[in-house]
Chain A
């Protein structure tokens, strides 16, 4: 029951943060960042299992692991960007959050280029 752990942590941090926000708002922000990191770390171990399973399935289905790794990288970039973006939004820096999202989108497109090229090539092959 690790979900109970996560919920308990979130509730405790919320309560302490509400107190801390009145005396030191900057500390409250850092506390919430750290809580987010802790929850992400807890979840990451589970995600590793899922990724390993996906890799195994891809191997069995004879999908090139090259494309799987690209998709994984995109998921990772999106994940980290979401994390940073939410922290910026929490601190009231909405403009910065939007810029982080923009940068993440551009990096995702750059990572996706090999897949797009491969799709184009196979389409060309079908049409020719």
Chain B
């Protein structure tokens, strides 16, 4: 999971940033905001999945039930 997920997040972040800049330069502030929010939500979904993986593993290693 580790490395390509991180690169994916970095790529999404850069793309969203560039799209937001282009859209706001073109005078579409609302769409730029939407793109930013959508990007954050998508990335948050991945981050939450990663954290849940981590928690499950920690629970099984340290026998935290």
Taking Cβ atoms with an 8 Å cutoff, the residues of A that contact B are 9, 12-13, 16, 19-20, 23-24, 26-28, 30-31, 33-35, 37-38, 40-42, 44, 47-48, 51, 69, 72-73, 75-77, 79-80, 83
Shortest CB distance B28–A (Å)? 17
* Interface bin, chain B: 20 to 34
A28 touches B62 (CB 8 A): no
Given contacts A24-B13, A27-B16, contact A75 B62 (CB under 8 A): yes
Which A residues touch B40, using CB under 8 A? Answer: 26-27, 30
Main secondary structure of the interface of A (DSSP, over half): helix
Which A residues touch B5, using CB under 8 A? Answer: 34, 38
Taking Cβ atoms with an 8 Å cutoff, the residues of B that contact A are 1-3, 5-6, 9-10, 12-14, 16-18, 20-21, 36, 39-40, 43-44, 46-47, 50-51, 53-55, 57-59, 61-64
Which A residues touch B20, using CB under 8 A? Answer: 23-24
Instruction: Report 23 cross-chain contacts, Cβ distance below 8 Å, ordered by A residue.
Output: A13-B10, A16-B14, A20-B14, A23-B13, A24-B13, A24-B17, A24-B20, A30-B13, A30-B47, A31-B6, A34-B6, A34-B46, A37-B51, A38-B3, A40-B54, A41-B1, A41-B53, A41-B57, A44-B57, A48-B61, A51-B62, A75-B62, A76-B61
Shortest CB distance B29–A (Å)? 16
Which A residues touch B17, using CB under 8 A? Answer: 20, 23-24, 27
A37 touches B50 (CB 8 A): yes
B14 touches A19 (CB 8 A): yes
B9 touches A31 (CB 8 A): yes
B9 touches A38 (CB 8 A): no
Shortest CB distance B12–A (Å)? 7
Which B residues touch A38, using CB under 8 A? Answer: 1-3, 5-6, 50
